[in-house]
Amino acid sequence: MVGPDSIKRADAGQLAAAAREIKRGKLVVFPTETVYGLGAHALDAKAVAAIFEAKGRPNDNPIIVHVGSIAAAKELARTWPPEAERLAKKFWPGPLTLVLPRNKVVPDAVTGGLDTVALRVPDHPVALDLLRLSGVPIAAPSANRSGRPSPTRIQDAYADLGSAAAVYLDGGPCRIGVESTVISLAGPRPTILRSGGISRVAIEKEIGPVADAPRTGKALAPGMKYRHYAPNAPLVVLDAIQIRQRWKELDEEGRRATQWIVSRELGMAGNNVTVVGGRADVDVWARRLFALLRDIDARNPKTIVVEQVPETGLGEAVMGRLRKAAAAAKDESP
């Protein structure tokens, strides 16, 4: 399906070419352990502006800066509190993003004018090679058009962004499948702004109790207020009992017009039923979620029904994404 010249399995030559493009202000799609990123030279405001353009991203939504090491992160932050040291040592490279007061070298374009910067070291050899070879911090949001599910496969990024990126580095499917956890260490107490690849429990084991961002208002990661993760078809999240009920209520045609994304425990089968795994296999749900939403949406269903999963570990991030996808569908219904 996808095969433009710009998509290459990331070998040494491709990596070198991608690093050159980053240095001269062009955009590169690259794999991380969470989702694919759309990267640009983070200290080049014009290059960063091109990210917003390519994604159709509102420009008050700041972008995560990827670095190769704790030392490189410290150069971009004005303060480095003990919690940052503990979390970075424990979880980097990995799916945790730290929001800290920013150093002035970080352009406004990256932070949406905020006085903070979001930093992470990604846990993927291609991403780390790209950072090392380009020798600069790389600003990178997820490589989707704004509002679409994040890409966990290179072809999903290409479908959304096409020729907007100079190079696509293929690293295969992403291992985790949901984005990094974003935690702010810039306020009076550590606050989770977005759930993601590192669970709350794991974070609290390192630094003690953390606060949750209010559901609305300023403390939330700015991006969380926008339409997100949304397939085109309306999506509803139901528990097992509600799914059985709905199945019973629908006639044959209604059942067929619905795409069902369910756990093995429900015992459902059919062309339009996708069994993700066991209900408690939240890591599998996380890994498959965004690609499933894209694939299933391509079948033009009338509705997508997804079974809820327990909010333990990655389950919290999965349910966060599903709630946003469901809310986006509601916003758009007449």
Binding site for Mg ion (CB under 5 A): 142
Q: Which of 182, 233, 291, 319 binds ligand TXA (CB under 6 A)?
A: 182
Contact map string, positions 196 to 235, toward ligand TXA, x by CB under 6 A: -------------------------xxxx-----------
Which of ligand TXA, Mg ion, none does residue 328 bind to, with CB < 5 to 8 Å depending on kind? none
Cβ closest to ligand TXA, residue 14 vs residue 32: 32
Residue 189's contacts (CB-CB under 8 Å, 6 or more residues apart) are 210, 211
Given the rule CB under 6 A, which of 11-19, 30-38, 291-299, 303-311 is the region that contacts ligand TXA? 30-38
Which of Mg ion, ligand TXA, none does residue 231 bind to, with CB < 5 to 8 Å depending on kind? none
Which of ligand TXA, Mg ion, none does residue 98 bind to, with CB < 5 to 8 Å depending on kind? none
Residue 279's contacts (CB-CB under 8 Å, 6 or more residues apart) are 240, 263, 264, 265, 307, 309, 310
Q: Which of residues 116-135 bind ligand TXA (CB under 6 A)?
A: 116-118, 122
Strands 65-66 and 138-139: antiparallel
**Residue 37 binds to ligand TXA (criterion: CB under 6 A):** yes
Could you tell me if 107 and 45 are in contact, meaning their C-beta atoms sit under 8 angstroms apart?
yes
Residue 94's contacts (CB-CB under 8 Å, 6 or more residues apart) are 33, 120, 121, 122, 123, 180, 197, 198
Q: Which of 99, 126, 130, 304 binds ligand TXA (CB under 6 A)?
A: 99
Q: Which of 154, 193, 314, 317 binds ligand TXA (CB under 6 A)?
A: 193
**Residue 32 binds to ligand TXA (criterion: CB under 6 A):** yes
Give the whole-angstrom CA distance, residue 20 versus residue 128: 15
Beta-bridge partners for 30: 37
Q: Is the dihedral of CA 52, 57, 59, 64 positive or negative?
A: negative
- Dihedral angle over CA of 196, 286, 323, 241, nearest 10: -140
**Residue 142 binds to ligand TXA (criterion: CB under 6 A):** yes
**Residue 87 binds to ligand TXA (criterion: CB under 6 A):** no
